[in-house]
Amino acid sequence: MEKVIDGEKLNVPNHVAIILDGNGRWAKKRLMPRNYGHKAGAKTLEKVCDDAKELGIKYLTVYAFSTENWKRSVEEVSGIMNILRDYLADCIKWADEKNMRIRIIGDRTALDADIVEKIEEAERVSKIYDGLNFTIAINYGGRDDIRRGVKKLISDVNSGKINEEISEDLISSYLDTADIPDPDLLIRTSGEERLSNFLIWQLAYTEFYFTDCLWPDFNMNELKKAVRYYNGRDRRYGGVK
């Protein structure tokens, strides 16, 4: 979608995915514990949701906790889970005010019951909003997404529910992201240039943008830089919008 922001014409991607990285280093630079960085990261995310909406981005999907993140210290994992608890509670409050639909992707069976309840509530109360489709990946892994999808597909084939040709679209419909379009732009902060098992099926035709900016320092200016980079790409392949 074309939009004029502060006199600048921007072709705004429909769906932006972000790997939030660098919270730990941001805290370390300030001689603070890692969870201080995660807290700052959550604040930044709140602001970036507003910025994304202002730019006209319709879908924002962020990688908050991967299937591999359980390997971090017990203290860090429980700190992140508490931040997620608070954030989900805030999302429930914000849904109406920000006209924001919330979805959570990932395997929720391993999460604490109260977090699952909050996820279900956030998804339920925000279903009617369509200003920004905000998706948080929690206990998410791209391979695990495909594994769970394939398992369900096999069970539906065996029960006779599915007897059609196995197409790419059919496989997409068995993933956690079934009702959201594939990302147009992926951003990873903090200088790392890896996918880290994020949306590996869905990112097949996506443009990648990497920045040294640590996640807590990310802002509207950085988001615009990423969109400008996207504008400079020649999107010839796949799902060109």
The distance in angstroms from the start CA to the end CA of the chain is 9
Kindly give the pairing relationship between strand 100-105 and strand 59-66: unpaired
Rounded Cα distance between 119 and 96, Å, is: 16
Helix (H) or strand (E) holding 24: helix 23-29
Measured from the Cβ of residue 10, the count of other Cβ atoms closer than 10 Å reads: 18
Report the SS3 class of residue 105.
Answer: strand
Catalytic residue list contains 69? yes
Kindly state the smallest distance separating residue 27's Cβ from ligand FPP, in Å: 8
From 21, 51, 145, 182, the catalytic residue = 21
Nearer residue to ligand FPP within complex by CB, 3 or 72:
72
Catalytic residue list contains 21? yes
Residue nearest to ligand FPP (CB): 24
Nearer residue to ligand FPP within complex by CB, 32 or 154:
32
Rounded Cα distance between 157 and 135, Å, is: 29
From 11, 69, 82, 231, the catalytic residue = 69
Kindly state the smallest distance separating residue 136's Cβ from ligand FPP, in Å: 5
Kindly state the smallest distance separating residue 26's Cβ from ligand FPP, in Å: 7
Q: Is 170 exposed, middle or buried (0-12, 13-18, 19+ CB in 10 A)?
A: middle
Binding site residues, ligand FPP, CB under 6 A: 20-25, 38, 41-42, 45, 64-65, 69, 80, 83-84, 87, 136, 190
Kindly state the smallest distance separating residue 72's Cβ from ligand FPP, in Å: 8
Please list the active-site residues: 21, 69
